[in-house]
Structure 1
Amino acid sequence: MTEATSCGGVVIYRGKILLLYKSYKNRYDGWVLPKGTVEKGETHEQTALREVKEETDANARIIKYVGKSEYSFYSFHEQIVKSVHWYLMEAEGYHSKPQKEEFFVDSGYYKFHEAYHLLKFPNEKEILKEAYEEYKKLKSKNQWGIRQRR
């Protein structure tokens, strides 16, 4: 068994959530949130920001930590136990461009109910719900996007 740690973001701009569509050799197809593996010397926040930028080309900033998801899978007959640390992020705009080298073929911003139903993995759906509730709370208190208005 090997343990792995990744970090990612629930990236929101004007109420819409950024998703990626991955298509890998017809063996894997589905919509996901941007995330990736922590590199040596990186903090979780640095990893989340780097992975969002690399996978989507979106400029975003971290608003707050929203939680951790855990799952396991098999790779080459070895069990991998993965922890993913998630951050609520605010994008600077609607720009996104999927990273072709990682087999992402599409990206875009979707309304919550669309994003929720598009996401492939149940654990990402749960993180999306938690992050979106936090977004709505901050927005209702006029604390979302406040730094951009200074």
Structure 2
Amino acid sequence: MVEATSCGGIVIFHGKILLLYKNYRNRYEGWVLPKGTVEAGESFETTALREVKEETGVSAHIVEYIGKSEYTFNAQAEQVDKSVHWYLMSAESYYSKPQREEFFMDSGYYKYHEAWHLLKFANEKAMLEKAYARYQERKRNRISESD
């Protein structure tokens, strides 16, 4: 068994959520949230921001930590136990450009219910629910994104 840690972002701009569409050689296909592996010496926050920028081209900043999801999958002959640390993020514009080298074919911002239905994985849906609830709470309470 191998343990792996990734970090990612639920990026929101004007109430819409950033998603990526991945098509990996017709073996893996679906909409996902941006995330990636922690590099040596890198903080979780730095990883999350770097991965969002690399995978989507989006300049974002962290609003707050949302939580951790965990799941297991098989890669080659090994089982991988993965944990992903998620951050609520704010973007500066609707601009996005999917990273083709990682097999992302499309990216864009979607209304909450559209995003929830498009996402492929239940654990990402759960993090989206949590992040969007926090986004709405902050908006209701007029908490700025830099607090």
State the partner residue of 2:68: 68
Structure 1 CA distance, aligned partners of 2:49 and 2:79?
A: 27
> What one-letter code is carried by the residue in structure 2 that aligns with 1:112?
Y
Is the alpha carbon distance of 1:146 and 1:4 closer, same or farther for their aligned partners in structure 2, counting shifts above 3 Å?
A: closer
Instruction: Quote the residue 1:57 is aligned against.
Output: 57
Show structure 2 runs of 5+ residues with no match: none
- Is 1:36 the counterpart of 2:36 in the alignment? yes
Kept in 2, the 8 Å contact 1:66–1:86? The answer is yes
Name the TM-score, length of structure 2 as normaliser.
0.98
Partner of 1:125: 125
- The aligned residue for residue 80 of structure 2 is 80
Q: Measure the CA separation in 2 of the matches of 1:35 and 1:58.
A: 13
% identical aligned pairs: 66
Contact 1:66 1:131 (8 Å CA) reproduced: yes
5+ long unaligned stretches in structure 1: none
Deviation of 1:88 (Å): 0.1
Aligned to 1:25: 25
Matched to 2:3, the amino acid is E
Q: CA RMSD in A?
A: 1.0
Query: What's the secondary structure of 2:94's corresponding residue?
Result: coil
Return structure 1 stretches of 4+ with deviation > 6 angstroms.
none
- Would you say the 8 A contact 1:135–1:144 is kept in 2? no
| Structure 1 residue 144 displacement after superposition | 3.9
Give the count of matched residue pairs: 147
Does the 8 A contact of 1:21 with 1:106 survive in 2? yes
- In 1, Cα distance between the equivalents of 2:146 and 2:48? 22
